[in-house]
Amino acid sequence: MGNYQKINTLKPEGIESKKAYLIGGGIASLAAAAYLINDGHMNGEKITILEQGNIFGGAMDGIGNPEEGYVARGGREMEEHYECTWDLFSKIPSIEEPHRTVLDEFKELNDIDPNYSNCRVIANRGEKLDFSSLGLEDIHVKQLTKLFLATEDALGKLTVKEFFDASFLETDMWLYWRSMFAFEDWHSVVEMKRYMHRFIHLIPGMTKMDGLLFTKYNQYDSMILPLKKWLELQNVVFENNTKVVDLDIEINLNEKIVKGIHILRNNNNEVIKTTENDLVFVTNGSMTENSTLGNMNTAPVLDRSEGGCWSLWKNIAKKDSSFGRPEVFCSDIDKTKWESYTITAKGTKMKELIEKFAERKIIKNRTVTGGIITIKDSNWLLSVTVNRQPQFKNQPEDTIVLWAYALFPDKKGNFIQKEMSACTGKELLEELLYHFGIDEENMQEYINESIVIPVMMPYITSQFMPRVKGDRPEVVPTGSKNLAFLGQYTEIKNDCVFTVDYSIRSAIIAVYTLLGLKKNPPEIYSSQYDIRVIANAAKTLYSGRPLPAEFIIKKLLSNTSLEGLI
């Protein structure tokens, strides 16, 4: 969104008589509430957020204490051009510095402490591998170029494995890619194409993770909590432990109007009556639905039951084809699950071990590992990261928090001869220590200082499943008068899922469309059309080898304003 679009919207006619109901308490709903207030001029008390759980924030979580251990199911990697995210948080006051915004605080910290990795990948029980290039051959660059130029319609439901030569899946680039973004080779190659377009400007820094941005604390404390507190000050109504099970939708020719919201609260069925004048926003689908926790002595149980958000979307989808096809994303849990775990480590043993691999001291509010360290020869394809410390506001100075995850939870470990999904927190820690080069007789010292909480997530990569047009509903379906969809399972042209920005963009589109506001959402950063970005990305893909026709191009550009392009 250029400055010309950063207008103060006019108050929509009749906004005083409207009510808004937001189903789901994740970042998409919280963002939609903020835009209803800021750009839609709606009074906060007219906005109700309905959440089936007991806490708001969705996948952007973080909770715990040093005695029982901290836990976060995951964390989002962010970058400078999350235009919707920074637009939202440029208006939300920081909790620690109320006279400044969350964006002010965030940018200052990342300017002072820019991210980079000293240890991107290890193998052979602690050997740091060379990560200076992407390890691509000419055939792989050609295939990536072909994907970059292909249309989504032509690609259809092709998977990564079906599109690429088998040797590509053995390259360093695929290792870095899949561990950064949690891609599997059975995931949608269309989504990989969108990632290439969306983040091509970051490819030159891919090995060292240059250009990535991280919050001061976990993302609940750093982003969700200040946003929720601001919404509470605007008198937004938060109702937890309230499960929405269905919507009454009147469909006449080309019009779709929500007339009622069926909820289950305190074991009682209720119906919230709505009119065409009211607004209903639904977060359809969830990456973290049915998450289960383990502990040091117990493995998390894989919950295969149909979660509330998925059953809600299925009930809605039955009413009209424009509401999407949820079964595309939630019907194959063995292809959409993985497991993560959070380590709360007291004392000095783990701290010194991490400092050895990160090649930097753990200092307050400074990056540690600079992103994930991936263990290349791990049977689970295990990755671990230590973000800025402390990760939690109540975290003691003698405690660090690590987060790890793996893409193959059904395989046996290299040290622990059990499937990851069957491992206790203690066993997960032992497997990690083994890969860090710690011998079995020395592991107990680390175990004594640690609390490990594993999390199994059945749907965590469901948004990457192969899809075609119509599988995801438009944010505002054709003919909808008062219904919008939010989150990772909506269709937003040219943007890619598994990002905070996608959810917030869906919220902006929903609010602006349903209220008819004369304002455009922030534009998606179109670096794929910048010849300078493409040239730099191409040089990185070729790892220093001459580009095709490089000599001729340099000769043609000699003594011109484009001479330094290649």
Q: For residue 390, which of 27, 56, 72 has the smallest C-alpha distance?
A: 72
Q: In 3-state terms, what secondary structure has residue 296? A: coil
Q: What are the beta bridge partners of residue 382?
A: 406
3 state SS for 434-458:
HHCCCCHHHHHHHHHCEEEEEEEEC
Q: How far apart are CA 283 and CA 313, in angstroms?
A: 9
Cα–Cα dist 226/229, whole Å:
5
Residue 38 structure tokens: 């800021």
Q: Which of 294, 455, 438, 420 is nearest to 354 (CA)?
A: 438
DSSP 304-371: -S--HHHHHHHHHHTT-GGG--THHHHS-HHHH-EEEEEEEEESSHHHHHHHHHHTS---TTS-SSSS
Q: Which of 21, 35, 195, 512 is catalytic?
A: 195
Residue 195 designated active-site: yes
Handedness of CA 312, 318, 319, 323 (dihedral sign): positive
- 105 included as an active-site residue: no
Among 411, 449, 458, 456, CA closest to 429: 449
Edge-first strand listing for the sheet containing 292-293: 127-128, 121-123, 373-375, 382-385, 399-406, 338-346, 450-457, 292-293
Are β-strands 399-406 and 382-385 bridged in parallel, bridged antiparallel, or unpaired? antiparallel
- Exposed e or buried b for every residue in 478-510, given b needs 16+ CB within 10 A? eebbbbbbbbbbbbbeebbbbbbbbbbbbbbbb
Q: How many helices (H) and strands (E) does the chain have?
A: 19, 20
* Alpha-carbon distances, residue 72 vs 69, 288, 320, 452 (angstroms): 10, 11, 36, 11
Residue 204, number of CB atoms within 10 A of its CB: 17
Q: Which residues contact 458 (CB under 8 A, 6 or more apart)?
A: 289, 290, 291, 302, 303, 304, 333, 336, 337
Catalytic residue among 51, 70, 77, 474: 77
Rounded to the nearest 5 degrees, what angle is found at the Cα of 557, between the Cα atoms of 554 and 563?
Answer: 85
516 DSSP 8-state letter: T
Annotate 178-203 with b (16+ C-beta within 10 A) or e (fewer): bbbbbbbbbbbbbbbbbbbbbbbbbb
Residues with catalytic roles: 77, 195
